[in-house]
Amino acid sequence: MSSAVQVREQGADVERPLLEIKDLAINFRTSNGDVNAVRNAHLTVMPGETVAIVGESGSGKSTTALAAIGLLPTNGRVAGGQILFDGEDISNASEKRMIELRGSHIGMVPQDPMSNLNPVWKIGFQVRETLKANGLPSGPDDVANVLSQAGLPDAGRRAKQYPHEFSGGMRQRALIAIGLSCQPRLLIADEPTSALDVTVQRQILDHLETMTTELGTAVLLITHDLGLAAERADKVVVMYRGQVVEAGPSLELLRNPRHPYTQRLVSSAPSLASRRIQVAKEQGVESSDLLAPTEPVVVEEALPEDVLKVQDLTKVFKLRGALGKSTDFTAVDNVSFSVKRGTTTAIVGESGSGKSTVAQMVLNLLTPTSGKIVFDGVDTSTLNSKQLFGFRRRVQPIFQDPYGSLDPMYNIFRTIEEPLRTHKVGNKASREKKVRELLDQVALPQSAMQRYPNELSGGQRQRVAIARALALDPEVIICDEAVSALDVLVQAQVLNLLADLQSNLGLTYLFITHDLAVVRQIADHVCVMEKGKLVETGSTDDVFDSPQQDYTKALLNAIPGAQLMLPPEVA
């Protein structure tokens, strides 16, 4: 029996808040003095309750949560107020006491899976270490059970793999498995499903809901997805610039936001915008949420209509098995589609469906097992090194994991300037001007140029990655979950930016995403993938309004929060 269950059986006071934060102030020491990151923050989480903290990147959401589990960075400190866990003030508790609480009492699912999983340890070993540290059974079956509960298929085999062999969504599920493995009384989940497709997201959230119902586990959910907050949280706390500006029951707050900032969040959230989009379509007018170009893109007749053609694409990986034997795994199975110049094509599907593998082959970062990729009429497999260098300037990626794709030794200026320098574009002065313009475009202050990736939030890092991809003014951008880490305000801003660039420059986007609400806003065509196969394709309206496959219907039905934001008499 876990220690968490024992505490519950001993009769914890359910009337007393499990977590109570009072007038919390958090400062960070910098070379220019202390910076106030959080001021006068307050929130309450009761046993078995789910409370969501929402707000834009840098609002203090994650910092507040990290203080509650004693994991602030070394230059951060609690400068005032109290953090009470089950009545005990832990705001300045010793490291020994915090170690005692972590695991079976307070669990944590961090935001960035790649930087929070040890790349040289197998996934199963990392789960086993957590179980052993908390005195729980840690045999192979126990490890596999923990992973399967978090939605990982074939958990026994997956436990023997390393993090780099997992997709982004699978890595996130491994982190969730570790966070839930000891059945904590309070689980702090920092964007726990931002990298997950909607069906796996539902599976994970259903599991969290089961814990809160059966075990009394409370959840402090940090998220930028207001649809998810509306659907899953009992209460919502809205933070803005380090302060709590509004709090209350989730549906009441999101249906009737009072603070101007909350109103902006709700109006910008794509998962809550589906009704507005539908109304706009019914009225026969264009909605700003549809992000449609205001004027048609003019394309020279000499250029082929399809800038990208994928023909019979297949990718087979060798997976290590027992006793050193390897088995074939077909990640992409005979996939064909085309992308018209100046349009957006979205590839959607569950984590592990092959979406990102297709993107990597299109970028010439993976070699297809069979099939071919034709870019602008040329088979990319025939390009020599000089031609490939030119191809990389014309086709740029925005990767899913911003922390893994940014060099931690480069400051932000050098990170964004690097492609300009590599391709010998401009001089030092013009490159600096370009970097400043790009930072403005992605809503980052120019002062960020001298900072490093570890000093930025997850959303801020993703904005840097987007700025770097735009630096060379490419013709095609491959967006692999490019906005999944962004809060709704910046997400809307970036999507509008991408739409404006497409309208003005004739850009073409291949958008890899699990967020179907975003797809409805930005895509002209949709390709649906399941287990490596392309199961449905068509225009966005056709796929959303008249899905042909049960799998597509399941993806659409799993979009969180859309129905909850309708008026009560309609919902």
Model confidence pLDDT, tens digit, residues 200-210: 677 777 777 77
Separation between Cα atoms, residue 85 and residue 20, nearest integer Å: 7
Listed residue (40, 45, 46) closest to 78, CA to CA: 40
Residues sharing a CB contact under 8 Å with residue 241, sequence separation 6 or more, in sequence order: 59, 60
Q: Which has the minimum average pLDDT: 22-31, 63-72, 194-203, 331-340?
A: 194-203
* Residue pLDDT, tens place only, 234-274: 999 999 889 999 999 988 888 888 898 888 888 766 654 43
More confident residue, 215 or 218: 218
* SS3 labels along 462-530: HHHHHHHHHCCCCCEEEEECCCCCCCHHHHHHHHHHHHHHHHHHCCEEEEECCCHHHHHHHCCEEEEEE
Q: What is the pLDDT of residue 485?
A: 66
Confirm if 127 and 177 have CB atoms less than 8 A apart: yes
159 φψ region: left (φ > 0), alpha (ψ -120 to 50), beta (else): alpha
Listed in sequence order, the DSSP H helices in 117-225 are 123-133, 140-149, 155-158, 168-180, 198-214
pLDDT at 296 over 60: no
Q: What is the pLDDT of residue 303?
A: 52
Amino acid at site 278: Q
Q: What is the pLDDT of residue 278?
A: 40
Separation between Cα atoms, residue 152 and residue 137, nearest integer Å: 20
Maximum mean pLDDT: which of 161-165, 371-375, 397-401, 472-476? 371-375
More confident residue, 361 or 492: 361
Average pLDDT over residues 86-115: 87
Separation between Cα atoms, residue 331 and residue 313, nearest integer Å: 10
Tokens 């199963």 belong to which residue? Answer: 124
60 φψ region: left (φ > 0), alpha (ψ -120 to 50), beta (else): left
Average pLDDT over residues 187-195: 80
335: β partners: 313
Tokens of 331: 């990640």
Q: What is the pLDDT of residue 444?
A: 86
Q: What is the pLDDT of residue 269?
A: 66
Q: Count CB neighbours of 120 within 10 A.
A: 8
Listed residue (386, 325, 329, 380) closest to 352, CA to CA: 329
Q: What is the pLDDT of residue 11?
A: 46
Q: Which has the minimum average pLDDT: 347-361, 363-377, 432-446, 485-499?
A: 485-499
Tokens 């390709």 belong to which residue? Answer: 527
Listed in sequence order, the DSSP H helices in 298-441 are 355-362, 385-394, 402-405, 412-422, 428-441
More confident residue, 304 or 482: 482
On average, the pLDDT of the chain sits at 81
Tell me if residue 67 falls in helix, strand or coil. helix
Q: Exposed, middle or buried, 533 (CB in 10 Å: 0-12/13-18/19+)? A: middle
Q: Count CB neighbours of 318 within 10 A.
A: 9
Average pLDDT over residues 325-330: 83
- Supply the pTM of this predicted model: 0.61
Q: What is the pLDDT of residue 297?
A: 35
185 secondary structure, DSSP code: S
Residue length, the chain?
571
Q: Which has the minimum average pLDDT: 279-293, 390-404, 455-469?
A: 279-293
Question: ∠ CA 380-381-385 to the nearest 5 degrees?
Answer: 85
In the chain the domains, ranked by start, together with CATH numbers, are 3-105+184-268 (3.40.50.300), 116-182 (no CATH), 306-563 (3.40.50.300)
Percent above pLDDT 90 for the chain: 31
pLDDT at 400 over 80: no
43: β partners: 21
Tokens of 489: 């305000």
317 φψ region: left (φ > 0), alpha (ψ -120 to 50), beta (else): beta
* Residue pLDDT, tens place only, 542-552: 888 888 888 88
pLDDT band for position 288 (50/70/90)? very low
Q: What is the pLDDT of residue 567?
A: 43
